[in-house]
Structure 1
Amino acid sequence: MRIGELSRRTGVSPRSLRYYEEQGLLTSSRSETGQRHYSDAEVERVSLIQQLFDAGLSSRVIATVLPCVETPGDRNVVELAFAAMTRERDRIDADIAHLIETRDALDSLIRANSRHQTTLTAGPVPTRA
Structure 2
Amino acid sequence: MCVRIGELSQETGVSVRALRYYEEEGLIRPARSANGYREFGDGAVEAVRQIRGMIESGLPTRIIREILPYLDGPAALMPEVPCAYMLGEVARQRDLLDQRIRSLTGNRDALDVYLRAARSAAVTADTAA
User: TM-score, normalised on structure 2?
Assistant: 0.63
Q: Is the 8 A contact 1:20 1:26 kept in 2?
A: yes
Q: Which residue of 1 aligns with 2:70?
A: 68
Question: Higher relative contact order by CA 8 Å / sep ≥ 6: 1 or 2?
Answer: 2
Which ranges of structure 1 fall in alignment gaps of 5 or more residues?
A: 96-129
After superposition, residues 1-129 of structure 1 pair within 5 angstroms as 1-72=3-74, 73-76=76-79, 83=87, 84-91=89-96
CA distance in 1, matches of 2:4, 2:78: 34
Larger radius of gyration: 1
- Per-residue deviation, 1:32: 1.4
Structure 2 unaligned residues grouped into runs of 5+: 101-129
Deviation at 1:90, TM superposition (A): 3.7
Contact preservation (8 Å) 1:21, 1:27? yes
Provide the alpha-carbon RMSD of the alignment. 2.8
TM-aligned CA deviation for residue 47 of structure 1: 0.6
Does the 8 Å contact 2:9/2:16 carry over to 1?
yes
For the 8 Å contact 2:70–2:78, the answer to whether it is kept is no
| TM-score (ref. length: structure 1) | 0.63
The count of corresponding residues between Structure 1 and Structure 2 is 96
Kindly indicate whether the alpha-carbon contact (under 8 Å) linking 1:67 and 1:77 is maintained by their aligned counterparts in 2.
Answer: no
